[in-house]
Structure 1
Amino acid sequence: MDVSLALVIAVVVVALVFDYTNGFHDAANAIATSVSTRALTPRIALAMAAIMNFIGAFLGTEVADTIGSIIAGGVEGEGAHGLTVVLGALAGAIVWNLITWYFGLPSSSSHALIGGLVGAGVASSSAVKWDALIDKVLIPMVVSPLIGFGGAFMLMIAILWTFRHSSPWRVGRGFRFAQTISAAGMALGHGLQDAQKTMGVIFLALLASGHYSKDDGIPLWVKISAATAISLGTYSGGWRIMRTLGRRIIDLDPARGFASETVASIVLYVMAMGLGAPVSTTHTITSSVMGAGATKRFSAVRWGVARSIIVAWIVTIPAAALVAAIVYWICALFLP
C-alpha cells in the first residue's frame, strides 16, 4: 500500500471520528431544551435527534462545497502533502472538541474544523481562500447568533402576548407537545449543517489524492458514511453540554424552549440552503436560548455562564488552528 492511499484511508477514518465526536458534542444543541422542560425524555430525545440528523445529512451539499473550497486550490492533486494538510485540520478540530466537551462548554465543532483547515493551510503554505472564509464563514458566524438572539426574543414576546389570557398550565402542556416538533426541526438542521462539513473534508481528501475531481461531486458512500457517523455520535449523547444549555444558562419553560428551537432551526436552514454558510449549531441555539430567556428579565439569564461560552467561541478558531499547524508540522517530518 503506497503512502498516498494509506493517508486517504487515515483521513477518512479520522474525519468520521470527528463526525462522531461532533454528534455527541452537539447532540445537546437539538434536544437540551426539550429535555430540560421535560417535553421529552433523554433517551427518546436522543433517538429522535439521531434519526433526524441522518435524514438532514441528505438534504443538500452546499455547506460541504463551502468547506471543501476553503483550501481546495492548495491541496487538489497534491497527494501525500495535501492529505497531511487535511489530517492536521481534523486533528486540530478533534482535540478542541474533546477539550471543550470535557469542560462542558458548548463551543462550535464547525468553527473548530474551520480553524483546523486554516491552521493547517497556513502552516503548509497552501492557498487559503480568505475571501470565501470571510464571506461564507466569519460574517455568518457573527450574524447568526445575533439573529438567533433577536428572533427568539421577538417570537417569545409574540407568544407571551398571544397567550396572555390563557391558563399557564394549558399553555405549558401545549408547548411541551410543540417542542417535539421544534426539537425534530433543530436536529434536522444539525444534520443538514454538520454532517455536510465532514462530507466536505472527506471530499477534500479525495481531491488531494487525485481519486476524484471537483466535477465528480460528492460520492454517495461519503454521504452515507458521514450521516451514519453523526447519527451514532448523537445517540451516544452529550450530557455535559446538555446540562449547560438546558439549565445553567437559564431555567427554561416549554414556551421558551419552543421559541429557541424554532428560531435556531430556521437560521440553520437559511444559512445552509440559501447561502451555503457553515454556521455553528451551537452558537445559534445558545444565543436563541439567551434571547428567549431574556424575555423573563435580563437578569434571569446567567450571564457569567454565557460569558464563558462566548470566550470559548472567540478562542475556538485560533486554538484549533494552532493544534492543526503543530500536527501538520509533525506529520510533514515523515513525508518523503
Structure 2
Amino acid sequence: MVETALLVLALVVLLALAFDFINGFHDTANAVATSIATRALSPAQAVLMAAVFNVLGALSGTAVAKTVGKGIIPPELATQPLVIAALLSAIIWNLITWYYGIPSSSSHALVFSIVGAGIASGGLSVIKWGEGVAKTLQGLVFSPVFGFLGAMLLLSLLLWAAARQRPYWVNRFFLRAQVLSAAYMAFSHGSNDAQKTMGVITMALAAYYGWSGDQFHVPLWVILSAAVAMGLGTAMGGWRIIRTIGFKAVALRPIDGFAAEVAGATVIETASRLGIPLSTTHTISSAILGAGATKRLSAVRWGIAGRIVMAWIFTIPFCVALSWGIYTLMHLLTGAR
C-alpha cells in the first residue's frame, strides 16, 4: 500500500514537471516575442536567454507557490487524484491553445483546474474563495489593466525624452536596451509561473505526508526541479504563440518592445512578491497592445486582440469543467478520492 502511494506521488511529480515544461514552451512568447519581432535578438539568442533567466526567476521566491499549494484548497484536504485531475486538465488546455497559437493563460488553467477538481472532490465548501481564488481573480482583472496603461505611460515618456534624437540613434539604442528588458521579462516570468508548479508538487507532498497548512513548505528539490523543467521547456521555444504575440497583434519598434517588456515585467514581478498567481500571458499581451495603442489605435490589430481575449474568457469555465469531469471519471473508475 505504501509502495503504491509512493508510485502515485512520483506520477504526480512527473505530471507537474510535464506541465511546467509545457508551460515553458507555451509561454516562451511572453519573454521573447517582442525582442524577436523588433530584431533586437535572433530567435535562437532570445530563446536561450529566456531559458536562463526563467530558471533564475524560478529560484527567486516561493510566495506564489504557497498561494497555489495551500491557498486554493486546504492542504489537508488535498488528494493525489485531485492533483492529477487538475494537472491533466491544465495540460490539455495548454496543448489545445498552443496548437492553435492562442496565447492563453497557463496560470488560470492550473488554478481553476484545481478549483474544478476540488469541487468534484469535496464540494464548493472546500474552496478557499477569499484567499487564493480571490488573489487569482484580482490578478486576472488588474494585471492586463496595469500592463496596458503602464506600457502606454512608459512609451509616452520615452517618446517625449527621445523626441529630439535622430530616429536611427533611437532605434539603435533601444535595440540594445531591449536585451536587458527581455531578460527582465524572462526573469519575472520564471518568478511567477514556475512557482505554480512548485505549489502543486508541494500540495501532492502534503497529501502524501498529511501536512496541514502550518506545516506547508516548499522543499529545495521541488524549487530546483521546477526551475529546470521550465527552463528546458522555454529552450524548446513556442513558435506558434511567438508569431501571434510578436508579429500579428501589433507592428513593433524597438522602443515599443522595450516599453512593453519593462511595464509587463514590473507588473509580474510585483505580483510575484505579493504571492499573486497572475497570467504572464495576459500581462505582456496587454502591455504590447498598450504600446501599440500609444501610436494610434489603428496600429493594433484588434481582431487578433479579440481572439486573445476570448481565450482568456473561456479558460476559466473550460478548465473548471474539464478537471471536474476528469476527477469524476477517475473516481467512478477507481473509487479513489
TM-score band by shorter chain is over 0.9
Measure how far apart 1:77 and its partner are. Answer: 6.3
Judge conservation of contact 2:72–2:111 (CA < 8 Å) in 1: no
**How many residues align structurally?**
331
What TM-score do the two structures reach when normalised by structure 2? 0.95
**Correspondences of 1:164-243 after superposition (within 5 Å):** 164-210=163-209, 214-215=214-215, 217-243=217-243
Contiguous gaps of at least 5 residues in structure 1: none
Q: Which amino acid aligns with 1:139?
A: Q
**Correspondences of 1:61-100 after superposition (within 5 Å):** 61-73=62-74, 76=76, 82-100=79-97
Alignment correspondent of 1:119? 116
Q: Deviations over 1:173-227 (max 9, x none)?
A: 1000000000000000011001100000000000011165542611111011100
Q: Hey, what's the Cα distance between the residues in 2 that align with 1:146 and 1:189? A: 18
Judge conservation of contact 2:248–2:301 (CA < 8 Å) in 1: yes
**Correspondences of 1:38-77 after superposition (within 5 Å):** 38-73=39-74, 76=76
Alignment correspondent of 2:22? 21
Q: Deviations over 1:253-285 (max 9, x none)?
A: 000000000000100111110x21001110000
Judge conservation of contact 1:84–1:331 (CA < 8 Å) in 2: yes
Alignment correspondent of 1:323? 322
Measure how far apart 1:293 and its partner are. Answer: 0.5
What percentage of residue pairs aligned between the two structures are identical? Answer: 50
Alignment correspondent of 1:267? 267
Measure how far apart 1:70 and its partner are. Answer: 3.2
Alignment correspondent of 1:247? 247
Three-state SS of the structure 2 residue aligned to 1:295 is helix
Measure how far apart 1:134 and its partner are. Answer: 4.3
Judge conservation of contact 1:76–1:209 (CA < 8 Å) in 2: no
Q: Which amino acid aligns with 2:113?
A: G
Judge conservation of contact 2:22–2:94 (CA < 8 Å) in 1: yes
What TM-score do the two structures reach when normalised by structure 1? 0.96
Judge conservation of contact 1:20–1:234 (CA < 8 Å) in 2: yes
Judge conservation of contact 1:25–1:101 (CA < 8 Å) in 2: yes
In 2 relative to 1, CA 178–123 (structure 1 residues): closer, same or farther, beyond 3 Å? same
Q: Hey, what's the Cα distance between the residues in 1 that align with 2:139 and 2:230? A: 23
Q: Hey, what's the Cα distance between the residues in 2 that align with 1:115 and 1:71? A: 9
Q: Hey, what's the Cα distance between the residues in 2 that align with 1:293 and 1:144? A: 17
Q: Hey, what's the Cα distance between the residues in 1 that align with 2:43 and 2:96? A: 24
Q: Deviations over 1:117-167 (max 9, x none)?
A: 011011112511011144311012100100000010011111111111111
Q: Which amino acid aligns with 1:231?
A: G
In 2 relative to 1, CA 93–216 (structure 1 residues): closer, same or farther, beyond 3 Å? closer
* Most deviating of 208-217 and 21-30: 208-217
Q: Hey, what's the Cα distance between the residues in 2 that align with 1:109 and 1:70? A: 18
